[in-house]
A and B are shown apart, each in its own frame.
Chain A
Amino acid sequence: MTIALKSTGPRQLKNSLAKWLITLGGISVLFTLVLIFMYLLYVIKPIFVSAEIDKKQAFEITTSENVASIGIDELKELSYVITDDGQIDYYQLVETNQHQVGEQVYSQSLLAEDITLDQIIDISIEEKLLVGENGQVQLVSPKFMSQFAKDIRTIVPNITYPLGEDPITIDQEGQALSLVSFAMNDERAVFVAFTKDNRLIKTTLIAEDDFSYDAAHEAVYQEIDTQSSHFDDILVTPDLAMVFARSGDQVFVYDLSDDYDVELKATIIPQLSQNRTKSLHITSMALLSGSSSILLGDSSGKVSQWFEVAGEEGREFKQVRTFQAADNQKITAIYTEQFRKSFYTMTATGELGLFYTTSEAELWRGQLNSIEPVHLSISPRADALISLSGKSFSIFTVENEHPEVTWSALWKEVWYEGYPEPEYIWQSTSGSDDFEAKFSLVPISFGTIKAASYAMLFAVPIALTAAIYTAYFMTPSMRRKVKPTIELMEALPTVILGFLAGLWLAPIIEKYLPAVALLLLFLPLSVFLTAYLWFKLPKEIKIKLPETLAPLLLIPALLLAAYSAFSLSPVLEHYFFGGDVRQFITNDLNIDFDQRNALVVGIAMGFAVIPTIFSMAEDAIFSVPKHLTSGSLALGATQWQTLVKVVLLTASPGIFSAVMMGLGRAVGETMIVLMATGNTPILDWNFFEGMRTLAANIAVEMPESEVGSTHYRILFLAAFVLFVFTFIFNTAAEFIRQRLREKYSSL
């Protein structure tokens, strides 16, 4: 009889197919880990990329008159030039069916009839001031709007006059103006000007209603008492609080908050290091966005940032940081972005620099053209620069998405606007637009370490002693019950531990603070007392209650100790702390106290970590080969001596790796910290105060962060830091365990 074998072909095919599929499945685990790593890196990478400026296009303009100002729309489709005689000419930047690139598409006069133009001043990207010869001005805002025809979008000019089309008299005496600065909000418009006959004047227009829908106003004129007969630059801050007037190497700051009276607030006198060959001078000045910082450029190529700082003698202006924008070249102009703290510098040789103040980052330096452009302007979205030299109009794309982040801004102290000194601060969002984001990872990394340390402080002694006893002294039958019970703790959702810590434990600890201190004393005492009592017990009872029942015998003793600690707490509070420990701590010891503090987190997170450490350490101790201990005991060592000198020594790498795993878990724990602390990012080891950890910070801020923004990417960086941190800990722990396992098997 022959056995009919199934044809081997399909079987073999199935076999190898299964092999490939299973291999693929196995590798996919590795792939997942690598994918997480790479994806986090991919999101983080752009914040560390430096800025890039590239020439996009250039063309010759056909306007024949002299150009006084230039501009571009926010989508970079249409640009304009304003000539000396008040004519605005628009040039096409993208090719359409009707127009070619560089073609002049619109032209219009901006000027009122009875005004002769003297100069045009760029107030901001969207506001130009036309200054007449008789001290009259016109404020023009050459904006744009989109029109849709048959689903095709075209950008068309939309010129508005925020203060009305009629010329506004700035100087009552009708003198020509050599310098004018201007800023406005809905209620007020402030002009500060320096006249050709050397008077510094201020003109305030007070809106009758609101400038946003009605230009009607009343004017207040006044002359400012000056300390100088000549001024080179005047800048009014957009919040109408101050005016900076530069006269040579000094800057006078006047307070504008009173409509009818202008007072000198401060004088900024930069310390200019004298060069050997030529003396240094301030050559340019600009206001940084957010209206509190001023930038001064000097003839050696340095730019310094100044802002008001609360000092010993009240608020004063301080030089906060400097940038080397050019090598021994005069800074001829500083251009600041409208919404971010970036600025561009220009030298006489046409060298351009791009910097960011908060992060002290030099983002780009280089030559745009071979000569200094006559006009340079930043596009509304700060993603392009336009320049005009002679008749040549050029557009440069600027890639500068995340200038606020540098490695040093994330990890070193940064001097933020308005702060008295450099500090580590995490404050990612705020209500106002011109807010300086403070992205220091130091406070939240510190919080992570603080929370983890307190948790370990609590967990390691309990977990290790429990592991030692369970593995070495406990009877097998008891061990079978005790081990799963303690390990059950690991399965408890951390959200429940966090909830209990925040709403149950925190109020108890606050109320019975002395009891917590007493417990540290009472618990060990009660253990020793019970042990001694047992030791003194007569033999007959000892046999009935063997030492192996110690954990059970101790339970009532410990509970009793805890009970007495808690009932003694109010008495202690009454006699030693004046009836209220909390007040004693805050008032007498001058320590801040939060109800949800590091102590609560330490205990709650300690509970979460105990089973991890316990389980692994117990395994390590339990698997120490039995002949080692038998040998030691046979040589006359006591149980305890054998444990300390033989067992723990042999198992120490395993115990170490258990602690590492526990630390890894404590570092990444989110819910407990989120619920059991106030989540304030502070730098303080005080265990009566809370903290904010990396993980909790992600959980709190991620849902609100805008996709692709700097904030979003920094939160990814925080996740990456956590990932790398735990990766190192876990890999090291696993490595040690592997080595230990090999060692045991060789013994």
Chain B
Amino acid sequence: MNKWFKSGSPWIWLSAAGVSISLISVLGLLWLIASRGLSYFWPADLYQFEMLDEQGRTSTVIGEVYDREEIPAKQLVHLDIQLEPGQETIERYLVKTGNRELVSLDFRWILVPQIRKTSTPENIAVIERRTNGNFYGVIESLVLDGNSVSLDKMPELLERVEAFQEEIEALQKVDIGAINYKLERLRLTERKHQLGNNLTDEIANEINTQVQILKDEYKVLEAKLMSLRDTVSRDQLVVKAMDGTLVTIGFEDILQINFNNQMNVLEKLKLFFVQIGNFITDDPREANTEGGVFPAIFGTVLMVLLMTVIVSPLGVVAAIYLHEYAGNNALTKLLRIAVINLAGVPSIVYGVFGLGFFVYMVGGNLDQLFYPETLPSPTFGTPGVMWSAITLAILTLPVVIVSTEEGLARIPSAMRHGSLALGATKAETLWRIILPIASPAIMTGIILAIARAAGEVAPLMLVGVVKMAPNLPLDGNFPFLHLDRKFMHLGFHIYDVGFQSPNVEAARPLVYATALLLVTIIVALNMTAVSIRNRLREKYRMLEH
């Protein structure tokens, strides 16, 4: 034993434990997010519990089991539950019962000892709706235009409604949205002429005619919308809820009807992927706690792309300067310290700087100069996607610089010398020889910058992210890309839904799913960057010999 301690072996094992704990935590974290996130999409079994409560009343609870936990029996002494001898804990289930119009909370805890019978009847349907969340119940009848029809018609009716709903959405978002946008532009044009004191009667008339035309168009569209809404709400579904009440649900409200208990694994798998697809492509519903995250994905991607456009040239140029041009002097040392510090400054400081400098100072002045007609409501003098992109570009600048410089450092100097010896200028050597060889390193830097930017939330909370953006920053209205608009972001979505939403319990699975999506994107980006870098290192090693 003593010899064992003297050999230092226990301490080596202890240091190995550091590696083990780190590995367990990384992999455990990824596994936790993956399992929780993916289970959100998997069609769960629907249970029917026959309950007998302490007052001897019976009731039926239908829903998905969300969570199980053991609680000390002591806490439930007042319920007078029959315990096995020696039993100290009681199991309870958290059941999602949905049906928000009937009961105020769509989750409830049930105690296992109070369950008399558990079954999974095949006829229970889970109805996903546009409002009020899921509905669990047994479908009683189908009402087509006032007449009861066979239940077989359901898929057909669902398809019909879906087609109409898509039309309505297109009408609302695209056509009517465009008219509103144009009307606002006309108002601003008029105001601009007023401010410039050149609003002649001619211009005013011209604007008024256009406004009139648009308003007429609007009336036509509105009428069309109304008639569509009438058509879509033709059919109803009558469902029996767990307490026996019959509820009529209009088809216009229904997104999906699934009989989870009738499905086999393949069908479930299919639904699983459909759900993932919907999550990625749908808009959020019910104050972000249901539906998809499409606007957040879109906002994140657009902001990151804008950022890439800004950060790539700057970072590459700075790295080239540092490695190829800078002499070994005080300025270079200062520059290196600046790069290190830009990487180390807390991200929230960038947010503060972006808000004060870009939004209020630069943006405020831009508004004074170019958009006086919209004042006092600001155009660029308010947080938006452009300022977010610029702020994050500064934040990720050191990532690109460091990675590019590393790539440049690995290029054997023989290649530079060769090119210069053949008479090429330094600029030509750079452009024709160095940059092409270093391009994978640059790529790595950009990918890492993108990964960093995609996960950054704190500065964005100050310079442009919102929980619910009414319009995407990119749409069909001229000038198509609206850099002044606010946007949604996956990371902020997690923070907002997980911590600011009124019903955290209901939203938690969605937050896990969003987190999984974000982690997948970022881990994938990082792995790509790392593999590019590794391949590059191998290549250079070969060049050197």
B153 within 8 A of A: no
- B306 contacts chain A at the CB level, 8 A cutoff: no
The digit string for B342-356, where 1 denotes a CB below 8 A from any CB of A, is 111111111111011
Which of A35, A531, A579, A643 contacts B9 (CB under 8 A)?
Answer: A531
Closest B residue to A555 by beta carbon equals B20
Q: Is the CB of B427 within 8 A of A19?
A: yes
Residue of A nearest to B361 (CB): A39
- Not counting A495-B455, A638-B6, a sample of 14 additional A-B residue pairs whose C-beta atoms are within 8 angstroms of each other reads A33-B341, A36-B353, A461-B18, A466-B21, A494-B458, A496-B494, A527-B10, A580-B72, A668-B346, A674-B495, A695-B346, A699-B461, A719-B353, A734-B336
Contacts A667-B346, A670-B458, A716-B352; is A554 near B17 (CB within 8 Å)?
yes
Question: Which B residues, 64 to 119, have Cβ-Cβ distances below 8 Å to chain A?
Answer: 72, 74, 88-89
Interchain nearest-CB distance for B423 vs A (Å): 8
Pick the residue among A14, A35, A491, A727 that contacts B455 (CB under 8 A): A491
Q: How far is the CA of A26 from the CA of B26 in the complex (A)?
A: 37
- By Cβ-Cβ distance, the 3 closest A-B pairs, closest first, are A668-B346, A640-B8, A26-B321
**Bound Cα distance A727, B343 (Å):** 10
Q: Say whether B335 contacts A30, CB under 8 Å.
A: yes
B72 (CB) vs chain A CBs: closest residue: A579
Q: 0/1 per residue, B418-431, Cβ < 8 Å to A?
A: 00000101111011
Q: In the complex, what residues of B have CB within 8 A of residue A579's CB?
A: 72, 74
| With known contacts A19-B427, A492-B29, A570–B457 Cβ distance under 8 A | no
B511 on interface, CB distance cutoff 8 Å: yes
The CA of A297 and the CA of B470, in the complex, are separated in Å by 59
* Contact flags B203-235 to A (C-beta < 8 A → 1, else 0): 000000000000000000000000000000000
How distant is the Cα of A482 from the Cα of B10 in the complex, in angstroms? 21
Nearest Cβ on chain A to B39's Cβ, whole angstroms:
14
Contact yes or no, A26 B335, CB < 8 A: yes
The stretch from A61-69, A283-291, A378-386, A468-476 touching chain B is A468-476
| Cβ contacts under 8 Å, B408 to chain A | none
Q: How far is the CA of A559 from the CA of B25 in the complex (A)?
A: 11
Return the CB mask of A479-507 against B: 1 if under 8 Å, else 0. 00010111011011111101110111000
A573-628 contacts to B (CB < 8 Å)? 574, 579-580, 607, 610, 614
Q: Is A174 an interface residue (CB 8 A)?
A: no
Point out the residues of chain B lying under 8 angstroms from A503, CB to CB: 498, 504, 508, 511
**A366 on the interface (CB 8 Å rule)?**
no
A495 with B495, Cβ < 8 A, contacts A11-B425, A555-B23, A664-B344 known: yes
State how many angstroms separate the Cβ of A145 from the closest Cβ of chain B: 22
Q: Is the CB of B346 within 8 A of A558?
A: no
Asked whether, in the complex, the Cβ of A482 is within 8 Å of the Cβ of B23, the reply is yes
Query: Given A488-B526, A607-B25, A670-B458, do A33 and B342 touch, yes or no (CB 8 Å)?
Result: yes
Asked whether B317 lies within 8 Å of A498 as measured between CB atoms, the reply is no
What is the CA–CA distance of A702 and B354 in the complex, to the nearest angstrom?
Answer: 12
Determine if B17 and A523 form an interchain contact, defined as CB atoms under 8 angstroms apart.
yes
Q: From residue A6, how far is it (CB to closest CB) to chain B in Å?
A: 9
- A114 CB to closest chain B CB (Å) equals 50
By beta carbon, the residue of chain A nearest B14 is A527
Q: Would you give the shortest CB distance from A7 to chain B, in whole angstroms? A: 13
Tell whether, in the assembled complex, residue B356 and residue A39 are in contact, meaning their CB atoms are under 8 Å apart.
yes
**A722-B518 contact, Cβ under 8 Å, with A30-B338, A551-B23:** no
Q: Does B19 count as interface, using CB distance less than 8 angstroms?
A: yes
Q: Dominant SS at the A interface? A: helix
Q: How far is the CA of A523 from the CA of B18 in the complex (A)?
A: 11
Residues on B with C-beta less than 8 A from A504 are: 32
Q: Chain B interface (Cβ within 8 Å of chain A)?
A: 4, 6-27, 29, 32-33, 72, 74, 88-89, 313-314, 317-318, 320-322, 324-326, 331, 334-353, 355-357, 360-361, 394, 397, 401, 423, 425-428, 430-431, 451-452, 454-458, 461-462, 491-492, 494-495, 498-499, 504, 508, 511, 515, 518-519, 522-523, 526-527, 530
With A547-B12, A699-B462 as contacts: A466 and B346 at CB distance below 8 Å: no
Which residue of chain A has the shortest Cβ distance to B518 in the bound complex?
A493
Take A30-B334, A528-B10 as given contacts and tell me if A489 and B318 are in contact as well, using a CB distance cutoff of 8 Å: no
Contact A726 B338 (CB under 8 A): no
Tell me the complex Cα distance, A535–B72, Å: 43
CB neighbours (8 Å) of A731 from chain B are: 337, 340-341
Our pick among A468, A499, A555, A727 for the contact of B24 (Cβ within 8 Å) is A555
Q: Is the CB of B518 within 8 A of A496?
A: yes
- Provide the residues of chain A in CB contact with B11, threshold 8 Å: 640
Q: Mark A1-41, 1 if CB is under 8 A from B, else 0.
A: 00001000001101101110111011111101101100110
In Å, the complex CA distance between A674 and B461 comes to 12
On whether the beta carbons of B320 and A715 are closer than 8 Å, the reply is no
Tell me whether B317 and A21 are in contact (CB under 8 A): yes
Cβ–Cβ contact A727 & B345, under 8 A: yes
Bound CA span A216–B218, Å: 54
Best-surrounded residue of A18, A474, A722 (most CB of chain B within 10 A): A18
The interface residues of chain A lying within 8 Å CB-to-CB of B499 are 499, 502, 675
Q: With A554-B20, A671-B458 known to touch, is A734 a contact of B337 (CB < 8 Å)?
A: yes
Determine how close the nearest CB of chain B comes to the CB of A58; give it in whole angstroms: 35
Report yes or no: B425 in contact with A12, Cβ–Cβ below 8 A.
yes
Evaluate contact between A641 and B523: CB separation under 8 angstroms. no
Interface residue from B23, B344, B451, B462 paired with A485 (Cβ < 8 Å) = B23
Contacts of A634 in B (CB 8 A): none
A532 within 8 A of B: yes
Residues of chain A lying within 8 A (CB to CB) of residue B325: 19, 22-23, 26
Point out the residue from B4, B350, B454 that lies within 8 Å of A535, measured CB to CB. Answer: B4
Option from B13, B19, B351, B461 in Cβ contact (under 8 Å) with A528: B13
CB pair B17 A527 closer than 8 Å:
yes
A465 CB-CB contact with B under 8 Å: yes
Residue on B with the closest CB to A707? B360
Choose one: B16, B427, B462; the contact of A554 (CB below 8 Å): B16
26 contacts between A and B (CB under 8 A): A12-B425, A19-B427, A21-B317, A25-B317, A25-B318, A26-B326, A30-B334, A39-B361, A40-B353, A462-B18, A463-B22, A485-B23, A496-B494, A531-B9, A532-B10, A554-B17, A640-B11, A668-B348, A698-B462, A716-B352, A722-B345, A723-B346, A729-B344, A730-B344, A731-B341, A733-B340
Residues of A within 8 A of B20 (CB): 551-552, 554-555, 558
Nearest CB in chain A to that of B316: its residue: A25
Whether a CB of chain B sits under 8 angstroms from the CB of A538 is no
CA distance A467 to B22 in the complex (A): 10
- Residues in chain B near residue A468, CB distance under 8 A: 15, 18
CB-based contact A23/B340 at 8 Å: no
The residue on A at minimum CB distance from B530 is A484
* A309 interfacial by beta-carbon distance below 8 Å: no
Q: Decide if B462 touches A639 in the complex (CB within 8 Å).
A: no
**A708 smallest CB distance to B (angstroms):** 9
Whole-angstrom distance between the Cβ of B496 and the nearest chain A Cβ? 10
How long is the Cα–Cα vector from A716 to B461 in the complex, in angstroms? 15
Q: How far is B210's CA from A103's CA once the two chains are assembled, in angstroms?
A: 52
> What are the residues of chain B within 8 A of A716 when measuring CB–CB?
352, 356
Once the chains are docked, how many angstroms separate the CA of A40 from the CA of B361? 12
Q: How far is the CA of A11 from the CA of B314 in the complex (A)?
A: 24
Q: A641-B8, A675-B499, A719-B348 are in contact. Are A26 and B15 (CB under 8 A)?
A: no
B19-A26 in contact (CB<8A): no
Q: Is A248 on the interface with B (CB-CB < 8 A)?
A: no
Q: Which chain B residue lies CB-closest to A727?
A: B341
Pick from B13, B425, B462: contact of A550, CB under 8 Å: B13
Is A530's beta carbon under 8 Å from chain B?
A: yes
A614 partner residues in chain B, CB cutoff 8 A: 22
B451 contacts which chain A residues (CB < 8 A)?
A: 491
Whether B26 pairs with A486 at a CB distance below 8 angstroms is: yes
Known contacts being A18-B427, A671-B457, is A719 close to B24, with CB within 8 Å?
Answer: no
Question: Please, how many angstroms separate the alpha-carbon atoms of A117 and B492 in the complex?
Answer: 67
Contact check, B10 vs A36: say whether CB atoms are below 8 A apart.
no
Q: How far is the CA of A495 from the CA of B455 in the complex (A)?
A: 7
Report if A43 contacts B (CB, 8 A): yes
Given the known inter-chain contacts A465-B18, A607-B25, A715-B352, please indicate yes or no for A726 contacting B427, CB distance below 8 A: no
